[in-house]
Amino acid sequence: MRQHLDYLKETPSQTAGPYVHIGLAPGAAGFEIYNQELGWDIAGPNAAGERIRVEGRVIDGMGSPIKDVLLEAWQANANGIYAHPESEGDVEDGFRGWGRVITNFETGEWGFDTVKPGSVTDGNSRVMAPHISLWIVARGINVGLHTRLYFEDERDANAGDPVLNLIEWEHRRATLYAKRGERDGKTVYRFDIKLQGEDETVFFDI
């Protein structure tokens, strides 16, 4: 008799569709239902490190900003520790490391406040440059897209980053660098994501 492997198959993904906000950000859809919506406070008030704002747009293959996108961010704290049992060390009380934002329906701009993450060591003891993992879902996107935001001012760390160095087209690494600026005395990193075409952002199959 033929042997069978008894693994299950992963449930297939489907697009989040145009009304993803109803489920994941009902306030933005135009109604209040939950006592608290999740994902609005990534770092919490007690987190150490530099307070930063991250902003950007997601742009489609026609060059238009996408106005119905939802992004999730996942990051370590300033010491490079994730709020998860498999990350060794403690995070500050209230530090979740996860956030969820939607774009403005008129402008396509999104943004979140957080702290700049520290370097994280991967499973082979290689030090990864500070980064924020991003996951993008929207109408027209069949499987959520994974990318990473790195910081353009972390030049030395980025040069040694094992993930950036997997990208053999060196000029494409620049699509993952958020650009540092300042507004009203606050550090703002700009990170536009291009889904397709010229300067297409690098996406990862993780």
Partner 1 sequence: MKPGPYYQRDRQWQPAALTPDYKTSVSRSPQYSMISLETTVSEVTGPVFGHNDIDPLDRDLLNNFAKPGESPIGERIILHGRVLDENAKPVPNTLVEIWQANAGGRYRHRKDTYLAPIDPNFGGCGRTLTDEDGHYHFRTVKPGAYPWRNWVNSWRPAHVHISVFGSAFAQRLITQCYFEGDPLIAKCPIVNTIPDSDAIEQLIARLDLNATLPLDTIAYKLDIVLRGRRSTLFENRPEGN
Q: Is 165 in the site for partner 1 (CB under 8 A)?
A: no
| Out of 2, 35, 45, 170, the residue judged to bind partner 1 by CB under 8 A | 35
**How many Cα atoms occupy the beta-carbon half-sphere of 17 within 13 Å?**
7
Helices (H), 12-105: 20-24, 26-29
Q: Which of 102, 129, 137, 178 touches partner 1 by CB under 8 A?
A: 137
| Number of chain positions touching partner 1 (CB under 8 A) | 82
- Shortest reach from residue 167's CB to partner 1, in Å: 6
123, 156, 182, 185: residue in contact with partner 1 (rule CB under 8 A) = 123
CA 99-88-100 angle, to 5 degrees, is 5
Site string for partner 1, 39-58 (x = CB under 8 A): --------------------
How near is the Cβ of 187 to partner 1 at its closest, in Å?
22
**Element of type H or E holding 173:** helix 170-173
Residue 172: in which H helix or E strand, if any? Answer: helix 170-173
CA gap 67, 60 in Å, rounded: 10
The one-letter amino acid at 8: L
**Contact present, 189 and 179 (Cβ < 8 Å):** yes
DSSP character at residue 171: H
Q: Applying CB under 8 A, does 188 fall inside the site for partner 1? A: no
Q: Is 19 in the site for partner 1 (CB under 8 A)?
A: yes
Reduced to 3 states (helix: H, G, I; strand: E, B; else coil), residue 60 is: coil
- Select the residue interacting with partner 1 from 47, 52, 141, 149 (CB under 8 A): 141
Q: Work out whether 83 is an interface residue with partner 1 (CB under 8 A).
A: yes
Contact 38, 100 (CB under 8 A): yes
- Residues in region 58-77 near partner 1 by CB under 8 A: 60-62, 66, 68, 72, 74, 76
Segment lying near partner 1 (by CB under 8 A), choices 9-17, 43-51, 151-159, 178-186? 9-17
Please pick, from the candidates 30, 93, 182, 184, the single residue that binds partner 1 as defined by CB under 8 A: 30
In the complex, the smallest distance separating the C-beta of residue 93 from partner 1, rounded to whole angstroms, is 13
Three-state DSSP class for residue 156 = helix
Looking only at the bridges linking them, the beta strands covering 186-190 and 177-183 are antiparallel
Can residue 1 be called a binding residue for partner 1 (CB under 8 A)? no
